[in-house]
């Protein structure tokens, strides 16, 4: 790695001033688990950087609060902080589960939630869950503040809407109202410290034996985390029986292929995505495993 100057601002204002000059050599570092690994590997995403602004000591970007039906997570909150938070465990269990699958304890103690979706690797494990929960992110610059849905923020693999003078300050997750059941599933090549090959996050609400609301989001198996609004609309209102659940799973497989195109791995991934989706739906609707 080249010599890098690290600046540690104590306030958000200070950090925003540091990155405001249009200097392309300045980057942001939080936990550093993507930045440092990327720099060591010579990734051109971090190639021109000679100064890093460390956002870990900015109080406004830490902590988790709940008010008015919205949970606000500081952008620099670590996965360990999220997993151990009572509100998250009770109200947003899919997020707690996804964070618990990330890396190892050492990684979870350092890595932050914003780092995960700003890096926007296809395999970023919090993304499908945050999409299923309809999360919004707050971004600040010296010019002011903007909020946008995470689904809009993510543009392409390793690319987002973030401008060079902006910092993500928090993630706002509305508590799902109603009787949602659901799960997060991660498939990797091994059981621990695994890079995801397929992730799915799913929430379903049944009313009078019909699907009232459905939310499905994928990661890793699609180029970026993707919410399947079309499938959700198609099946809302349908009878929640095994035939419908199989049809949802089948449609998801078709959509994944439409998004990714046929690849050498499709023959394996398609039936696996469909089976995982069906099992998750079955457990959510009927309880237990399938």
Stretch of residues binding ligand FAD (CB under 6 A), selected from 17-25, 118-126, 177-185, 204-212? 118-126
The smaller minimum CB distance to ligand FAD, of residues 34 and 205, is found at: 34
Q: How far is the CB of 118 from ligand FAD (least distance, A)?
A: 4
Among 72, 80, 119, 260, binds ligand FAD (CB under 6 A): 119
Q: From residue 42 to residue 81, what is the string marking binding to ligand FAD with x (rule CB under 6 A)?
A: -------------x-------------------xx-----
CA 152, 127, 171, 168 dihedral sign is: negative
Alpha helices in the chain (DSSP H): 12-19, 35-40, 79-83, 86-91, 93-100, 105-110, 113-119, 126-132, 150-153, 229-235, 242-260, 266-286
For position 167 contacting ligand FAD by CB under 6 A, the verdict is yes
The smaller minimum CB distance to ligand FAD, of residues 168 and 273, is found at: 168
The smaller minimum CB distance to ligand FAD, of residues 201 and 245, is found at: 201
Among 9, 18, 19, 32, binds ligand FAD (CB under 6 A): 32
Stretch of residues binding ligand FAD (CB under 6 A), selected from 1-9, 117-125, 175-183, 228-236? 117-125
Give the count of alpha carbons within 13 A of 241, CB side only: 2
For position 12 contacting ligand FAD by CB under 6 A, the verdict is no
Q: Are 148 and 134 in contact (CB under 8 A)?
A: no
Stretch of residues binding ligand FAD (CB under 6 A), selected from 8-16, 107-115, 222-230, 240-248? 107-115
Rounded to the nearest 10°, the torsion over CA 51, 54, 58, 61 is 110
Point out which residues pair with 174 in neighbouring strands: 70
Distance, in Å, from the CA atom of 14 to the CA atom of 60, rounded to the nearest integer, reads: 12
Count of CB atoms situated within 10 Å of the CB of 56: 16
Could you give the angle at the alpha carbon of 13 between the alpha carbons of 11 and 16, nearest 5°?
A: 115
Q: How far is the CB of 259 from ligand FAD (least distance, A)?
A: 19
Binding site for ligand FAD (CB under 6 A): 27-35, 37, 55, 75-76, 102-103, 107, 110-112, 114-116, 118-119, 123-125, 162, 167-168, 193
């Amino acid at each position: 790695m080249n010599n890098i100057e690290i600046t540690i601002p104590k306030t958000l204002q200070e950090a925003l001033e540091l990155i405001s000059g249009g200097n392309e050599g300045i980057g942001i570092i939080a936990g550093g688990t993507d930045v440092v690994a990327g720099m060591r590997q010579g990734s051109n995403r971090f190639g021109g950087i000679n100064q890093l602004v460390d956002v870990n000591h900015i109080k406004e970007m830490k902590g988790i609060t709940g008010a008015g039906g919205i949970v606000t997570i500081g952008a620099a909150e670590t996965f360990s902080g999220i997993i151990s938070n009572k509100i998250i465990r009770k109200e947003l269990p899919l997020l707690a589960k996804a964070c618990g699958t990330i890396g190892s304890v050492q990684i979870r103690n350092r890595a932050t939630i914003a780092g995960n979706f700003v890096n926007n690797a296809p395999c970023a494990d919090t993304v499908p869950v945050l999409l299923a929960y309809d999360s919004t992110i707050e971004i600040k610059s010296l010019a002011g503040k903007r909020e946008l849905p995470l689904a809009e923020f993510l543009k392409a693999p390793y690319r987002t809407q973030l401008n060079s003078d902006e910092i993500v300050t928090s993630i706002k997750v509305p508590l799902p109202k109603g009787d949602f059941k659901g799960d997060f599933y991660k498939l990797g090549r091994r059981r621990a410290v695994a890079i995801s090959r397929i992730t799915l996050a799913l929430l379903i609400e049944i009313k009078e034996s019909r699907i009232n609301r459905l939310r499905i989001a994928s990661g890793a198996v699609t180029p970026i985390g993707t919410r399947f609004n079309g499938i959700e609309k198609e099946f809302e209102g349908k009878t929640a029986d095994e035939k419908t659940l199989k049809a949802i799973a089948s449609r998801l497989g078709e959509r994944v292929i439409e998004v990714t195109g046929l690849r050498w791995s499709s023959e394996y991934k398609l039936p696996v995505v469909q089976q995982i989706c069906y099992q998750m739906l079955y457990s959510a609707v009927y309880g237990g495993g399938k």
